[in-house]
A and B are shown apart, each in its own frame.
Chain A
Amino acid sequence: MMRDRSRREQQEPAGARGAQLRRQGAGAWLNNYFLRHAQTLFYAIGELSRRPFSTLMTVAVIGIALAMPAGLHVLLKNVQSVLSGWDGAAQVSLFLHQQTREPAAQALAGKLRARPEVAAVDYISAEQAMEEFRRLSGFGDALSALEENPLPPVLVVHPVLSRQDPASLAALVEELRQESTVELAQLDLQWVKRLYGLMEIGRRGVWVLAGLLALGVLLVVGNTIRLAIQNRRDEIVITKLIGGTDAFIRRPFLYTGIWYGLLGGLIAFVLVQSSLGVLAGPVSDLAGLYNSSFRLAGMDLPTTGALLGGGLLLGLLGSWLAVGRHLRAIEPT
């Protein structure tokens, strides 16, 4: 009954492969490991390209979901860069009493220039103010009818950059008010503060939106991978029957998720960049009207990296969740 035992030698004894691998050393093993991962990576993209339409649909949904927060983020950054131009332009306007003569005004200007927190002081005489107002307001003729100039002389005080925080500015304004020739000291910063408040809301809004849409991407990838697992149920069963480990079976699905996320990120990048391209013309026209050379900035490298990396991670996480839930349920019977 146990005949031909001697021929057993022709069969490779169990564990021979392990010994062979040990002889090859850790380097070869590592090489083999990366090779297998690389193969799975390209196998996964091959599988996706075999169903271009459904792949494109899934990737487009992910791309749009990623493009919305990314686009808003880029727009906010642009608004911020516009504001930073005005940020250093905090100035205090000192409206002097109507009857203040130029020497007195110049004397005050000189006194103010000597203060360490003041960078510069501009003197605008009542006549200069009138001239400017005539030119810019469009009431030229009507103003000529006035018998006397109703405008006061003005000193425009530019604080040094390091003293432009709200508290220092408020203190400076308080001191300037004490000057006898000053009728009114006006710090026109309120609107900047309000704008910053709005920006902060916008930034939080982008985060909330990004969170919600990231959840959406997770669900899209998870559901797509779940369907893929169901479609390949037979293959999974057979692979398990002939000794495929969970890691082996999981791997192609995880790489598929990674590809979905990465391609979605690329689509989002293209969407954001082309939307900015559409907006760039009108924006620079508008900036020209404000005498600004402002140009809409596109996605910078960190933002692009975050977009692609975020897409990749979301794809991996989504497929991981699906695989963890559904793969274990498929067992051979």
Chain B
Amino acid sequence: MIHFTNVSKRYPGGFEALRDVSFHLGAGEMAFLTGHSGAGKSTLLKLIALIERSSGGQVVVNSQNLNKLGRRRIPFHRRNIGVIFQDHRLLFDRTVFDNVALPLIIAGYSHQEIGRRVRAALDKVGLLGKEKLYPITLSGGEQQRVGIARAVVNKPPLLLADEPTGNLDPELSREIMGIFEEFNRVGVSVLIASHDHALIRSLQHRVLMLDHGALAGDGFLRPRS
């Protein structure tokens, strides 16, 4: 699903956010991306969603070499990736339903199909009764779930999450992770950037560890006994 080959990213001004990173995330695989702040977690996710372009090396997502993907094809690439942000990035002047429906409207689905899929996605994140509410009336955890529903509503084969539990208490964080595991169980590839080591340790998935832009570890964290 995701192939990084000797990828580096240097920002204008000389800051090197990623150095010679190589890894492979298989289809249907779930992994955590961890490391101190500034280690390059967000940059790595941005390269996958083409919010940034790599300065060196090769990024292949969904059998598509991103180096060769033109500007005009970026939107269609992004439709195959569900992205979840720490700050949710919801539209606060629209209802929960309209927020979740946005990817389907963009892709040109029919009215009936949109209603059906939005309700299915809200059902999966446990927000079915709240589709007519505005996001501002929801708690942080619920807002994050709206963000997740929006990311999965058009059934992308890959989910990216950037610190999805950053502002949530441990119990809510565990719930959110449970939702991601459910999607993974039906075959969606999931890559989650997080520095919540306790949570990552308890979940037993593959962990990619970044340190100052370089890949410092790739494996499983042992649960604390």
Contacts and interface: CB of A to CB of B under 8 A. Distances in A.
Nearest to B103: A242
B28 A5 contact: yes
Contacts of B29: 1-2
Interface stretch (A6-14, A94-102, A110-118, A265-273): A6-14
A332 B26 CA distance: 27
Contacts of B28: 2-5, 7-8
A132 interface: no
Contacts of B172: none
Contact of A8 (B27, B102, B151): B27
Given A14-B62, A242-B150, 16 more contacts: A1-B26, A8-B187, A10-B187, A14-B157, A238-B102, A240-B75, A241-B49, A242-B78, A242-B79, A243-B103, A243-B106, A244-B75, A245-B106, A246-B75, A331-B51, A332-B51
A243 B26 contact: no
8 contacts: A2-B27, A4-B186, A11-B155, A11-B187, A237-B89, A242-B103, A242-B150, A242-B151
A275 interface: no
Q: How large is the interface on A (under 10, 10 to 19, 20 to 34, 35 or more residues)?
A: 20 to 34
A17 B75 CA distance: 16
Contact of A7 (B102, B151, B185): B185
Given A1-B206, A7-B186, A8-B27, A241 B110 contact: no
Contacts of A244: 75, 106
A245 B150 CA distance: 17
B15 interface: no
B207 to A, nearest CB: 12
A239 B102 contact: yes
Interface in B61-94: 62, 72, 75-80, 83, 89-91
Contacts of B108: 32, 36
A81 to B, nearest CB: 53
- Give 3 closest A-B pairs by Cβ, nearest first: A8-B187, A243-B79, A243-B78
Contacts, number: 87
Interface in B92-120: 102-103, 106-110
B28 to A, nearest CB: 6
Interface string A8-50: 1111101001000000000000001000100000000000000
B62 to A, nearest CB: 8
B87 to A, nearest CB: 11
A239 B79 CA distance: 11
Interface of A: 1-5, 7-12, 14, 17, 32, 36, 234-235, 237-246, 248, 331-333
Nearest to A8: B187
Interface of B: 26-29, 49, 51, 62, 72, 75-80, 83, 89-91, 102-103, 106-110, 150-151, 155, 157, 184-188, 206
Contact of A235 (B49, B72, B91): B91
B4 to A, nearest CB: 16
Q: Is the contact region of chain B dominated by helix, strand, or loop, or is it mixed?
A: loop
A12 B79 contact: no
Contacts of A333: 51
Contacts of A4: 28, 184-187
B173 to A, nearest CB: 23
Nearest to A13: B157
A246 B72 CA distance: 8
B110 to A, nearest CB: 7
Contacts of A237: 89
Given A4-B187, A12-B155, A242 B27 contact: no
A177 B187 CA distance: 107
B26 to A, nearest CB: 5
A14 B187 CA distance: 13
B187 A5 contact: yes
Contacts of A241: 49, 51, 78, 83, 89
Contact of B91 (A3, A10, A17, A234): A234
B106 A239 contact: yes
A238 B10 CA distance: 25
A238 B102 CA distance: 10
Nearest to A248: B106
Contacts of A9: 187
Contacts of B206: 1
A152 B11 CA distance: 101
Contacts of A331: 51
Nearest to B62: A14
A93 B126 CA distance: 99
Given A32-B110, A238-B91, A245 B186 contact: no
Contacts of B62: 14
Given A7-B186, A11-B186, A11-B187, A243 B107 contact: yes
